[in-house]
Every structure is written in structure tokens, then in C-alpha cells.
Amino acid sequence: MSSQRETARGFPARFNIPGTRVLALVLATAVVAYLAWKIGQSPPQALQFAFNGIAVGAVYALLAMGFTLVYSTVWFFDLYYGAAAALGAYGVFYLRTATALGSRADVNNVYVNAVFAAVVGGVVAWVLYTLLHPRLRGRFTPNTIGVASGLLGGGAGAYTGIVLAFPENLHLTLSPAIGVVVAAAAIVVPFWAVQTFVPNIRLSRFTAIAGLPAVVIGAWCGYLTAGAPGAGLYLSWAVSCLLAGCVGLALYRGLYMYMRERARSPLIMLVASLGILLAVAAFIVIVFEAAPRPLPTAFGSETWKIAGARIKGFNIFAIGVALAGFAILWLLLKQTSFGRAVRAIGDDEEVSKVVGINTTVIIAGVFFIGAMYAALAGILTGHDTAVQPRMGLLLLLKGWIASVVGGIGNLYGAIVGGFVLGVVEQFGIWDLAGEWKDAIAFVLLILFLSFWPQGLLPRR
């Protein structure tokens, strides 16, 4: 039954052609022998390629984790995922290059600000209405809840417009939002911890106890942010990821949801998302032109020499981000009701609706989170190489290859596949030009689709 379900969702069954296992064993033996020979030939260079592969693999792992989350929930290949990676990288360029140039006139665009402000306002209004309507419909009319949600969404959109219009003052414009987020986290996180020991405690009662300390902590964090102008680059990371996530959520709610209900065809969804990917790429060319653009220098750009290999602190940070992203996503999927709902929808969406899961809200959250992971991967890539309008498509393909290598639909396979792809790419160009790296990735994809179609860690 499991095999039939995987085949129906696009997973090829494991081939049982005579001789394929023997050929696969020969290939694996040849690869191991080649690696042993090259490592013995130059251990420092092997260490350098290994570290480079792990650093690049961290980005691929982030891409694969977000892609796996989206694909294993809705079971279609969303090409916007690549556009989200490009939006993340160009978002940082948009917010920080103006400051570096000392003038906002060359980069900052009022129409771009208005578009993203409208998207954020619409998303916030929809989220608030969706969350508040089931809880307050006995006390207020739907129109009242809708108007209140619209006003709050409009406020969020206006605030977004202000943040984007004054990128050189991100530390000032974002300090109130950071204070509110920290204060809320200072209530919610301890509440979850206390619930483990006191299951019957109410959030309202806990807030009455912990509210004042949480407000003080939030205000202090907001004050520290306002006095840290050097934090602008890293605040732009958060803004770019959130904007990419909001666009992903808006696309699902405004387009994909209706197409899934009416078309019920993965091919139509694929074509629609391809149009979105091309439209975003064209939008980027119009705003930023087609030339590659460098991002401002981040921390950790100094090179350390360890055992003959040169290692950058930023690359170590990228590896840490990938591991932290995996841990957060694992906790979200395995330890929360949201994660259980995601897994239930991935297994059978219709049954999930029958048992009372609000599939629209859950899937919208999945698109939001997946787009944020893609945007973060794009940002890390952009700080390592120049950003360009077509970077989204290549990153999308690398994330998909990493998912296939690791085992598509498996979170553990996503992070393993990302690191494996990165290391194979780097060792593959040891005796070749760097331009062969992408070709090596696609050869690896073909080999896995031919001999290990379920990946290193198949979905159970």
C-alpha cells in the first residue's frame, strides 16, 4: 500500500532491472576509491574541498528542508520556491545598498514599497480574520471582525511601507516591532514550558503573572535595537525573509488554493508557478537591472587557516544556520499540533478536513515557512557570491536535487542530501573547472533517479 501511494504521488518505485544493483555497487566502489586516492594525494586540499562542500551543502540543506516541507504537504512542485530565494537575496540588496551608497534615490522605489506593503497588509488582515472569526463569532458579527482585521492589516501594511522607505534607519523603525515580538515570546515560551507541569493553567492567567516582566524585557530589547545602527544588515535579513514568506502565503491564498480546488492537476499548478517564477525574475530585472550585484560584507569574512585549509567564519555560521533550521523544523513538525496537522494533510488532505483540520490555514503556514527557508538560503548564497535575477531557478533545482538525493518527503533526508550534494559537487571539480559543478549535480540526480529513486533515507 505504501509503495502504491508513493508511486501515485510521483515517486518512482525502486527499479528491479537485472544488473542495476551490480552497476550501482561498481559506481559506489569507484567513487570511494577515487576519494581515497585524492585524499592521499593532498590531504590539505581534500580538507579544503570537504569544508567548501559542507558550507555549500548547508545552503542546499536549507533549500531542501523548505522544499520538502512544501512538497510533502501539497504534493506539487512549487516553482515560486526559487523566486523566494532570489527575493531574499535582493531584499538585502534593496535595503542595505542604499545605505552603502549614501543615497536612497538610486535604489529605493516607492512603487516597490507600495506593492510589498499591500501584500503584507492583505496577509495580516486575512490571518487575523481567520484566527479571530471562529473565536469571536458568538460575540461579534463577521462584518465587525472583518473591519477590525482590515484596519489592523492596513496598519501592518503602512508600517511595512515606512520600514521599506527608510532602510538606513531599520534599527529605529523595527525597534517597536522587535520589542513586541520579544515580549510576546517572553510570555508564550514560558507558558508552553509551564503547561508541561501544570496542564490546566490558562494563558490569560499566566499572562497576568508574567505580563509585566515580559513587557520590561521587550522594551529593553527594543531600546537596545534602536541604539545599534550596525545591526541594519542583519535586520534586513529578517525583513527579507518575512517579505518572501508573506508573498508565498499570498500566492497560496490568492491563487494556488483556488487552482487546487478547480483544476486538481499538478501540471496546471506547475505551469502557474512557472509563470510566477518568470514574473518575479522579470520584476527583479526591471527594478535592479540584469547585472550581478554584490551584497554588503557580513561578519566572518576573515579567512582562518586550519591544517592547510582556508576557512571563513561566515561559512561556519551558514552551517550552524542549517543545523538550527533543521532543529526548529523538527520541533515544529514533531512536537506541535501544527506539525501533526501538516503530517495529516500530507497523508490525506480530504480526511484531514473531515476530522476538523483547517487545511487552508495550515497549508498557508507551510508556504510561509517554506518561503522563509528559501529566502534565508538565498541570503546566505548572496553573501558568498554575487546575486543575479536568475539565481532563483538554479537554487530551486539544487534544493530539489538535494531532496531527491536525501529522500524526497523526508526531513532527515533533506539535510543529509544537502550536505551530500555540496560535498560531491566540490570533490567533483577537483580536476575540472568550476563551471562543471552544476553538471556534476545533474549527473548525481540522474544516477539517483536511476538506481536509488527513493534516496538515501526514503520516506516512511
Separation in Å, CA 1 to CA 121, 351, 394 = 45, 17, 35
Residue-wise pLDDT tens digits, 33-49:
877 777 777 778 888 88
CA within 13 Å, CB half, 346: 20
Separation in Å, CA 191 to CA 183, 196, 260, 274 = 13, 9, 37, 43
Q: What is the pLDDT of residue 103?
A: 41
**Which residue do the cell numbers 483547517 mark?**
358
* C-beta of residue 284 within 8 angstroms of C-beta of residue 90: yes
Separation in Å, CA 309 to CA 40, 76, 128, 294 = 15, 41, 51, 25
Strand 303-306 and strand 309-312: the pairing is: antiparallel
Q: What is the pLDDT of residue 120?
A: 95
The whole-angstrom separation of Cα 253 and Cα 251 is 6
- Confidence (pTM): 0.88
Residue-wise pLDDT tens digits, 115-127:
999 999 999 999 9
Hey, how many other C-beta atoms are within 10 angstroms of the C-beta on 249?
26
The whole-angstrom separation of Cα 295 and Cα 94 is 9
CA nearest neighbour of 130 among 105, 149, 154: 149
CA nearest neighbour of 77 among 205, 256, 261, 221: 256
For the chain, 460 residues long, the average pLDDT of each consecutive 10-residue run is: 41 48 72 76 82 92 92 86 92 76 60 93 92 82 90 94 91 92 86 72 74 89 90 91 94 85 77 88 86 83 79 90 94 87 87 86 92 94 87 90 88 91 87 80 87 80
The whole-angstrom separation of Cα 34 and Cα 243 is 45
